[in-house]
A and B are shown apart, each in its own frame.
Chain A
C-alpha cells in the first residue's frame, strides 16, 4: 500500500492493511475495511482537524493474553513433541516412524507458536485509541498497539492545536 496519495500521508495501518489512517491538509481520513485477510469493502470516515475534540489511549490486556496463548501453544506442543520423540526411541518399525511424524508435526506447531509469540512481543502492548468529535466517538482500529498510537498522538496534537487556534482567530 502506498504511503502518500493526493495530499494525504499514511499515519498508520492495521493488520494486513485492512484499515488505515491518513492525514490530509484539512482532515483525518479513517479507512475502515471490512474483512479478515483482504477487505471486501471500505468505509471512509473523515474527521475535520478543527472539529476533533479529544483523543484517548488506554492500554489493554489483549497483548498479554495473546502472549500467554502463543507461549502455551509453543510450550505444550514442544513438550508433546519431546515426549513423542522419547517414546519413539523405544519403538521399532512402523510405530517408530508414526511417532516420529507426530513429533515432527508437534514441533512445527510449537515453532509456529514461538514465531507468533515473537511477533506479538515485538509489536508491543495493545491499546484502544478513540477519537471524539461533537457527534461521535470512533475507535481507530489501525492503532491497536501502544507504540504507534503514542506516536500518532504526538504527531497529531500540535497539528490539531494549530488548526483549532486558527479557527478561533
Chain B
C-alpha cells in the first residue's frame, strides 16, 4: 500500500475508507494502541556514593535486577521478554547460544533442506535429475543424521520429512550403486564370452553347433579336402600345393 495516512473515526470496529494514493477501498480496524504514545524508557542516572551500580555500565545507577543471572541493571541494559526482565547478556544467551525456542527468531529447517536436495533436481530435470539427486544424497543423509535431534521449528512438525529424506537418500544411493554394480558385472561377463562374432563367422555355423568338432576330432563341420585327394588339374589343388612348405 502507499503509506498515505488514513483518517479513521472508530476504534475496534471495521471501517472502509478510500485511499487517494492507491485509489482503492481499504478496510481498516484501528485499536486504542494507535493513540497511545510509545512507552518511554527512563534515561540511566549517574551512580552516587553508596548506591548499587549497573553491572555493565559502572557509572550508572542500577534500577533493576536481571531475572536470569541476578546482576544489577540500569534501564539501558535491561530488556523485557515475555514478562521476564533480563540483562542483555542473558537475552543473547537465550536467543543465540541456548536457542530457546521461546526466544528463537530464525531457524534453518534441516529436514526440509535434505528433502529439497533430493527432490528439487527431480522436479527441475525430470529424468536426468536422478543423477543430481544421487550426487546430493550423501549430503542429504549427512544432514538427516547430523540434525536428527535439532528443533524442527517453533510450531511442531512431525519427523516424517526427516524419515522420508533419509529413506530416499539411502534408496537412491543403493539404487544407483546397484545399477553401477550390475553394469560392471555385465561388462565383465561380456569379456568372458569373448569378442562379438562377425557376420562371416556366423554364416560358417549356419549348419548348427552339432557340426563343431568334439575333443576326439570326430564329426562336425564340413570336411576340408586334403590337397593330395584333389585332382592335379583343379586350380584349388595348385594353390594348396604352392602354399605347402
Question: Do the two shown chains form a genuine complex with each other?
Answer: yes
Interface membership of B38, Cβ < 8 A: yes
Shortest distance in angstroms between A100's beta carbon and chain B's nearest beta carbon? 23
Number of A-B contacts (CB under 8 A): 115
The interface residues of chain B lying within 8 Å CB-to-CB of A130 are: 1
> Is the beta-carbon distance between A40 and B22 smaller than 8 angstroms?
no
A153-B14, A157-B14, A161-B12 given; A55·B108 CB < 8 A = no
> Is the beta-carbon distance between A42 and B33 smaller than 8 angstroms?
no
A43-B105, A56-B26, A58-B26 given; A168·B1 CB < 8 A = no
The interface residues of chain B lying within 8 Å CB-to-CB of A52 are: 31, 33
Shortest distance in angstroms between B33's beta carbon and chain A's nearest beta carbon? 5
Closest to A139 in B: B1
A5-B156, A58-B26, A59-B24 given; A40·B32 CB < 8 A = no
Interface membership of A39, Cβ < 8 A: yes
Complex CA gap A161/B116 in Å reads 42
Contacting residue for A51 out of B1, B22, B33, CB 8 A: B33
Complex CA gap A87/B156 in Å reads 56
Interface residues of B in 70-119 (CB under 8 A from A): 82, 104-109, 112-113, 115-116
The interface residues of chain B lying within 8 Å CB-to-CB of A38 are: 109, 112, 115-116, 161
Contacting residue for A26 out of B33, B82, B161, CB 8 A: B82
A39-B112, A52-B33 given; A58·B153 CB < 8 A = no
Closest to A158 in B: B12
Interface membership of B231, Cβ < 8 A: no
Interface residues of B in 5-31 (CB under 8 A from A): 6, 8, 11-14, 19, 22, 24-31
Complex CA gap A22/B242 in Å reads 103
> Is the beta-carbon distance between B26 and A157 smaller than 8 angstroms?
no
Query: For the side of the interface on A, what is the size category?
Result: 35 or more
The interface residues of chain A lying within 8 Å CB-to-CB of B33 are: 50-53, 133-134, 160, 164
Interface membership of B197, Cβ < 8 A: no
> Is the beta-carbon distance between B107 and A42 smaller than 8 angstroms?
yes
Complex CA gap A153/B31 in Å reads 12
The interface residues of chain B lying within 8 Å CB-to-CB of A40 are: 108-109, 112-113, 116
Complex CA gap A137/B26 in Å reads 15
Interface membership of A128, Cβ < 8 A: yes
> Is the beta-carbon distance between A5 and B155 smaller than 8 angstroms?
yes
Interface membership of B41, Cβ < 8 A: no
The interface residues of chain A lying within 8 Å CB-to-CB of B3 are: 137
Shortest distance in angstroms between B188's beta carbon and chain A's nearest beta carbon? 40
Q: Can you report 18 A-B residue pairs in the complex whose CB atoms are below 8 A from each other?
A: A1-B155, A2-B155, A5-B155, A29-B154, A35-B116, A38-B112, A38-B161, A42-B153, A44-B154, A53-B31, A53-B34, A54-B34, A55-B28, A128-B1, A137-B3, A150-B27, A157-B31, A160-B12
Given contacts A38-B109, A165-B32, A168-B32, 9 further A-B contacts (CB under 8 A): A29-B154, A41-B109, A42-B154, A44-B104, A53-B34, A54-B30, A56-B27, A58-B25, A157-B29
Shortest distance in angstroms between A134's beta carbon and chain B's nearest beta carbon? 5
Interface centre among A45, A52, A53, A154 (most CB of B within 10 A): A53
Contacting residue for A153 out of B29, B32, B38, CB 8 A: B29
Complex CA gap A51/B80 in Å reads 14
Complex CA gap A51/B105 in Å reads 19
Q: Give B188-223 as 1s and 0s: 1 = Cβ < 8 Å from A's Cβ atoms.
A: 000000000000000000000000000000000000
Shortest distance in angstroms between B115's beta carbon and chain A's nearest beta carbon? 6
A39-B109, A42-B109 given; A1·B157 CB < 8 A = yes
Shortest distance in angstroms between B39's beta carbon and chain A's nearest beta carbon? 9
Which 9 pairs show the lowest CB-CB distances between chains A and B? A161-B12, A53-B34, A38-B112, A54-B30, A57-B27, A56-B28, A164-B32, A53-B33, A160-B31
The interface residues of chain B lying within 8 Å CB-to-CB of A50 are: 33
